[in-house]
Chain A
Amino acid sequence: MSTTADNLDRHLPLSEAGFYIMALLAEPRHGYAVMQETTALTGGQVTIGPGTLYGALTTLERENLIEFVAEAQRRKSYRLTARGRAVLTRQLVRLHLMVNVAAQLGLDPQPEAM
């Protein structure tokens, strides 16, 4: 499967939910764990609803960015595919660039403003 730059970039930018789901699937996890971890790691600022989560997982799997790992007690676990890892890395590169440019322009994120 081709993983040229253009080919991967068509998945970018990731939606907010898509980003958190993919970041957390760097390790195998099931959907609810992804939801819990997202809320915990963002200090409650980002929540992913079950409808969104299920829809995003379905789409990511269809686009071969994540793959099914195992099912236990009706909970399916997924993890990133190699393609998914590459896409996530490219997204992180872009995000770092954005934050750096913002800092150079003297724009600082204010936590209260979110």
Chain B
Amino acid sequence: MHHDDERPTRSVWKWFWAWQDEQEEAWLRDMAHQGWHLRTVGVPGCYGFERGAPRDVVYRLDFKLGKGDWEAYRQLFADCGWDYVGRLGGWIYFRKEAVYGQPDEIFTDAATKARKYESVMFVLALALMWFSIFFGIPKQIGGTFATVLAVVQGTLALVVVYALVNLLMRVRTLRRRL
């Protein structure tokens, strides 16, 4: 899929939570059915698409912390027919033309799939620690701004806890399938 500057592009704002990666994959595939192919994922929640022919394209997300072996990692996916689209934080976007009878998963066993979600959980746990540490600071400042900040932080912390619980259950289900 080459980038043609003359081809129409559009940006779509859509939010997917950490536990909604499969929905995100399905949505990107649906967009491809409508002729919109993912081009950029630089900004969280903002997807850049470019116009093309409607195609059945499977999108898969991996999650990796750090770069370690980036070249070999990319090459392995490329060898297996997966196009690299972009990276957003730890999330890595791959796509492949869907061909009947051919594999369309990047994770073919439960253990390695579980490890992906465990990496996500690690980052979420760090975020939760961050919120816990800085939760007390607004109180020092005082005033309405501090209250608003505290509410926002509290809400985000609750979301992170929900994400952790959701992914923990997913990991447990995956690991039970031995």
Q: Which residues of A contact B (CB under 8 A)?
A: 15-17, 31-32, 35, 47-56, 58, 71, 73-76
Contacts and interface: CB of A to CB of B under 8 A. Distances in A.
Contacts of A47: 103, 108
B108 A52 contact: yes
Given A32-B79, A56-B112, 4 more contacts: A17-B109, A35-B80, A50-B80, A76-B72
Contact of B107 (A35, A49, A58, A73): A49
Interface string B12-26: 000000000000000
B72 A49 contact: no
A16 B109 contact: yes
B116 interface: yes
Contacts of B108: 17, 47-49, 51-52
B107 to A, nearest CB: 4
Given A56-B112, A71-B72, A74-B72, A51 B79 contact: no
25 contacts: A15-B111, A17-B109, A17-B112, A31-B79, A48-B109, A49-B106, A49-B107, A50-B77, A51-B62, A51-B107, A51-B112, A51-B116, A52-B109, A52-B112, A53-B76, A54-B73, A54-B76, A55-B107, A55-B112, A58-B69, A74-B71, A74-B72, A75-B72, A75-B76, A75-B79
Contacts of B80: 32, 35, 49-50, 53
Contacts of B111: 15
Interface residues of B, number: 25
A52 B76 contact: no
A15 B116 CA distance: 17
Contacts of B60: 51
Interface of B: 60, 62, 69, 71-77, 79-80, 82, 103, 105-109, 111-113, 115-116, 178
Nearest to B74: A74
Nearest to B64: A54
Contact of B82 (A50, A71, A75, A76): A50
Contacts of B178: 15
A32 B71 CA distance: 14
Contacts of A58: 69
B4 to A, nearest CB: 27
B42 to A, nearest CB: 23
Contacts of A74: 71-72, 74-75
Which among A16, A49, A56, A76 has the greatest number of chain B C-beta atoms within 10 A?
Answer: A49
